[in-house]
Structure 1
């Protein structure tokens, strides 16, 4: 059972790191830069850690920029304001994401500037065969190491890890929590101290300062990923923009 617990926790946090670091803070907000080598490295890292819920950094960046530009309006890809439950909201988000990824819709030019793009990796990561193989891998791991049947209830979370993380922020952090700043949308800080989502729960702070690498604002709002980024910068792997500053921008 210990192996399953370790596997679940590792998958939760490694997948979350990839989404927050590569797709969110790097692709969508360009809060730091890195060389092409390291960009490709973290693409591969995201492919491995996100597995069946791998997301194109380019498509995610566009989708998320649209969310900031149109937050809680009818043009927002995922506002709880327009859906009765998070299932229908996430199904709609999936459709919008797919339309962006397959280029079935025309995107405003302002949302497509300076985005990372690796078509080969995105094609691999989004293929049905690839998603199925990762899902099968999760099932096999549970068959080998899960001593109780009820542990298999965790398998769907592994398969849909990215959407699960997205639901926590895009639904719950727009409905529950507290506001540190008045903004023109319903974003809230879901938890006063965020370990569960590695800093992503400070969603109201993030909507106030979208370009800032650090999502924490008050002294107790620890953003674990920001401190990882500081470590990566000290190693010369990334360069943080406006380090120590809180920067407002459209997205």
Structure 2
């Protein structure tokens, strides 16, 4: 099922073209970034506050809890297994329909279209915790004020406006995939679908308009807010606090208590040590739901070429 993973500190599995500008710094792109930040980062936070406030009138029940959990699982696996491990790092291969399903699921998280997300994350690996890293918390000074500014920047504020990695340079392999380009072009529609599904299900199960609002808030806004903050914590807190198994060139850290909620993403130091590994936990006792799904897909014949480092590679890297 698996094959050894290489152990580079930079991204492997793609070739960055260098004949063009690495990043684009354009007012039109910045306007789009600010709109995206408002609609998909700020509004979910406002929706979460509204959902909690309305709990005094319409307390969430099993329907709202199921919608929140169900859409959180679908979109969370879409981000970690699809956006991150499959499309960014090519840590496994999958059937075309599985790739499309993962790309759509990741898009519904509202964290950017698949090609943009991949380009940003590949640039992060290339320049992690160095000038040019889109979301490092370690470039704002080491005094308390600088550390706080860095955490706020890495967790959220960087998304307001940032240099946009040139997808021709950073994601040329994805640009050659026609089906993925189609999914990428419909990104906003997938986000709206991720909001419409819980709203309509809530309306149908409750049988009144208030159910539509509750479904939209808990399965849409709250789900986006919770998942977003979990993923953003990897950028901020796990480049600042926590243990390290491997002496990588950046400041990545691991977190066991966040492992289940982050679908295994919180084994972040492990990931930076072996970026092409489909397993982030690397050992069975480190909870890694993202890898569990890849393992299941492989057992079903829907995924193959699953890359995992050997025990010898891990031992040498730790040494």
TM-score by length of 1: 0.77
Name the counterpart of 1:231.
296
Contact 1:181 1:208 in 2 (8 A): yes
Specify the structure having the higher radius of gyration (Cα): 2
Aligned mate of 2:184, from 122, 127, 144:
122
Q: Give secondary structure in 1 for the equivalent of 2:304.
A: strand
SS in 2 for 1:166: helix
How far residue 3 of structure 1 moved from its aligned partner, in angstroms, is: 1.5
Shift of 1:88: 3.8
> Structure 1 stretches of 5 or more lacking a match?
101-105
Kept after mapping to 2: 8 A contact 1:77/1:96: yes
Cα separation, partners in 2 of 1:131 and 1:119, compared to 1, 3 Å: same
Q: Is the 8 A contact 1:157 1:164 kept in 2?
A: no
Is the CA contact 1:135–1:159 (under 8 Å) kept in the aligned structure 2? no
Q: Distance in 2 between matches of 1:191 and 1:244?
A: 20
Q: What secondary structure does 2:281 align onto? A: coil
- Map 1:95-106 → 2, pairs under 5 A: 95-96=161-162, 99-100=164-165, 106=166
Give distance in 2, aligned partners of 1:73 and 1:240: 32
What does residue 70 of structure 1 align with? 127
Name whichever of 2-11 and 112-121 sits farther off. 112-121
What is residue 159 of structure 2 aligned with on the other side?
A: 93
- Is the Cα contact below 8 Å between 1:173 and 1:187 reproduced in 2? yes
Which SS does the other structure have where 2:280 is aligned?
coil
TM-score (norm 2): 0.62
Secondary structure, counterpart of 1:80 in structure 2: coil
**Residues 120 and 203 of structure 1, relative CA distance in 2, 3 Å threshold:** same
Q: 1:3 to 1:86 in 2, by over 3 A?
A: farther
Aligned-partner Cα distance in 2 for 1:164–1:131: 17
Q: Which moved more, 1:132-141 or 1:75-84?
A: 132-141
> Hey, which bits of structure 1, 4+ residues long, moved more than 6 A?
none
Higher relative contact order (CA 8 A, sep 6+): 2
The two structures, once aligned, show a CA RMSD in angstroms of 3.3
Q: Distance in 2 between matches of 1:144 and 1:29?
A: 40
SS of 1:196's equivalent? Answer: coil
